């Protein structure tokens, strides 16, 4: 029989593949599929020998939120025979059913997340992939992403940087952890800026600020401020000392300012115009099908009606816009209607409720990590659709599961020590 502790290490490595090789899009799919298959296989083989534990209210609530978010994708598949043409646009929601199962099994059979193994995946993945990304920028790449998407690479970089920031600020982190956190934060922060995604950069700064406030409730202000300034100053010095790093960000900022000032609703091919066009059409789709949203098949059939019902009267080009509304709320309304919006907000509410309740505990590190990531997703959700992505959505679920499990493990250790 494989020892419980050995399997926990194997399971953590499988999940860690997503972070170790995040410059490659396929790594996410390999990571959670391997982890889920291994988990199911281990429990099936050794079911009789494994201890079973009751699930807490928090676990049940999160599992329910994942399942509800999956279920909201089902009605559009069956309305007007939408399954014939819409499955690949609803496919991202199916991941939530997998992660709901993973969450329940992980806690039911007390499979651990190995903290040191997870840290290794975070640090190694962050340092190596960000360095490769910076190298491609020096070679002339416009927006770094390696073999992943621009948004996907930006999300991994920002999440790893947020975790490193929390680890560096935490007063109980060892010197070695702080050194690696410092290096990882600096490199991944620069990688975030070189992705030049406005929503992700804004969400990243909001996550950093929220993390700072959480740590401020448990530490001295001046000590915390010195740590934060050290990270920010060193990152800025490196970033601003190399023209290949800061020049694309300056150019992008000037482009955005120019487009914003001149936009009148007709320049659909600009970055700003593109978003207004698909937001406008997304709202039009919601008006035509407010309860369950509109699948691809129906959207194609009502293409002219959607355009005439919109404000700018600009026709939709291509099928991809239904899943790329560049706004989480409008995307939910367009694809899944009021039902979809309620499912989205229920998911965000449940995650925030569970982790905010953990802040009352002295082990605030892991709740702080997850809440800062949640702030990133909510903020960027005004400009993108991360929870309707085949990469960012599973990444969100992995973070929820890992940080909740690490928190519970740490709390259990302290409870045992109090007994003795």
Angle between helices 198-216 and 150-169 (to 10 degrees): 10
Does 231 score more than 50 pLDDT? yes
Tell me: the pLDDT tens digits for 268-298? 566 666 777 888 888 988 998 899 888 877 8
Residue 107 has a CB neighbour count (10 Å cut-off) of 22
Angle between helices 198-216 and 365-380 (to 10 degrees): 150
The secondary structure of 211-246 as a DSSP string is HHHHHHTTS-HHHHHHHHHHHHHHHHHHHHT-HHHH
Average pLDDT, the chain: 88
Q: Which residues contact 172 (CB under 8 A, 6 or more apart)?
A: 365
Query: What is the Cα–Cα distance from 354 to 372, expressed in whole angstroms?
Result: 14
On whether the CB atoms of residues 165 and 185 are closer than 8 A, the answer is: yes
pLDDT band at 245 (very low <50, low <70, confident <90, very high): confident
Does 317 score more than 70 pLDDT? no
Tell me: the pLDDT tens digits for 357-412? 998 767 899 999 999 999 999 999 998 999 988 899 999 999 999 999 999 999 88
Q: Which residues pair with 147 in a beta bridge?
A: 24
Does 323 score more than 50 pLDDT? no
pLDDT at residue 167, rounded to an integer: 96
Q: Which residues contact 367 (CB under 8 A, 6 or more apart)?
A: 214, 355, 356, 358, 359, 361, 403, 407
Does 29 score more than 80 pLDDT? yes
pTM for the structure as a whole: 0.92
Query: What is the Cα–Cα distance from 351 to 323, expressed in whole angstroms?
Result: 23
On whether the CB atoms of residues 360 and 61 are closer than 8 A, the answer is: no
Query: What is the Cα–Cα distance from 367 to 121, expressed in whole angstroms?
Result: 19
Least confident of 212-216, 223-227, 294-298: 294-298
Alpha carbon of 381 to those of 83, 146, 156, 392: distances in Å? 26, 23, 15, 11
Tell me: the pLDDT tens digits for 168-181? 999 888 999 999 99
pLDDT at residue 310, rounded to an integer: 78
Q: Which residues contact 293 (CB under 8 A, 6 or more apart)?
A: 75, 76, 285, 286, 332, 333, 334, 335, 336, 337, 339, 340
Q: To 5 degrees, how large is the angle CA 132–CA 136–CA 138?
A: 115
Would you kindly state where each structural domain of the chain is located, as residue ranges?
A: 4-254+325-419
- Tell me 315's DSSP state: P
Q: Is the dihedral of CA 318, 324, 326, 328 positive or negative?
A: positive
Query: What is the Cα–Cα distance from 227 to 282, expressed in whole angstroms?
Result: 44
On whether the CB atoms of residues 331 and 383 are closer than 8 A, the answer is: no
Residue 306 has a CB neighbour count (10 Å cut-off) of 25
On whether the CB atoms of residues 166 and 215 are closer than 8 A, the answer is: yes
Tell me: the pLDDT tens digits for 59-88? 999 999 999 999 988 888 787 776 666 555
Please measure the distance between the N-terminal and C-terminal CA atoms of the chain and give it in whole angstroms.
31
């Amino acid at each position: 029989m494989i020892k419980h502790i050995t399997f926990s290490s194997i399971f953590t490595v499988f999940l860690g593949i997503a972070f170790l090789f995040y410059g490659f899009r396929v790594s996410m799919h390999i990571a959670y599929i391997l982890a889920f298959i291994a988990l199911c296989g281990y429990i099936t083989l050794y079911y009789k020998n494994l201890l079973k534990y009751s699930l807490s209210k928090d676990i049940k609530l999160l599992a329910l939120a994942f399942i509800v978010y999956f279920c909201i994708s089902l009605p559009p598949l069956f309305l007007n025979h939408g399954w014939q043409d819409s499955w690949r646009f609803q496919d991202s929601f199916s991941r939530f059913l997998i992660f709901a199962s993973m969450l329940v099994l992980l806690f039911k059979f007390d499979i651990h997340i190995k903290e040191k193994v997870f840290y290794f995946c975070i640090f190694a993945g962050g340092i190596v992939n960000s360095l490769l990304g910076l190298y491609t920028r020096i070679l002339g790449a416009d927006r770094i992403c390696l073999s992943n998407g621009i948004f996907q690479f930006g999300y991994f970089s920002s999440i790893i940087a947020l975790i490193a920031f929390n680890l560096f600020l935490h007063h109980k982190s060892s010197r070695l952890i702080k050194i690696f956190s410092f290096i990882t934060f600096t490199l991944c922060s620069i990688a975030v800026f070189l992705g030049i995604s406005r929503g992700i950069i804004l969400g990243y700064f909001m996550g950093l600020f929220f993390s700072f406030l959480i740590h401020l409730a448990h530490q001295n202000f001046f000590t915390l401020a010195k740590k934060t300034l050290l990270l920010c100053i060193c990152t800025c010095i490196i970033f601003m000392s190399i023209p290949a790093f800061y020049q694309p960000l300056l150019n992008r900022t000037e482009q955005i300012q120019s487009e914003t000032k001149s936009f009148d609703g007709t320049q659909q091919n600009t970055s700003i115009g593109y978003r207004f066009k698909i937001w406008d059409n997304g709202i039009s789709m919601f008006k035509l099908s407010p309860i369950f949203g509109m699948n691809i098949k129906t959207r194609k059939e009502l293409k002219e009606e959607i355009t005439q019902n919109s404000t700018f009267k600009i026709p939709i080009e291509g099928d991809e816009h239904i899943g790329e509304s560049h706004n989480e709320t409008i995307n939910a309304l367009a694809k899944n209607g009021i039902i979809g919006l309620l499912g989205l907000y229920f998911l965000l509410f449940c995650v925030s409720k569970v982790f905010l309740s953990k802040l009352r505990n002295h082990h605030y590190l892991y709740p702080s990590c997850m809440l800062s990531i949640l702030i990133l997703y909510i903020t960027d959700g005004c400009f993108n659709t991360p929870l309707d992505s085949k990469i960012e959505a599973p990444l969100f679920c992995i973070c929820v599961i890992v940080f909740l499990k690490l928190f519970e493990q740490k709390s259990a250790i302290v409870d045992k020590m109090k007994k003795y």
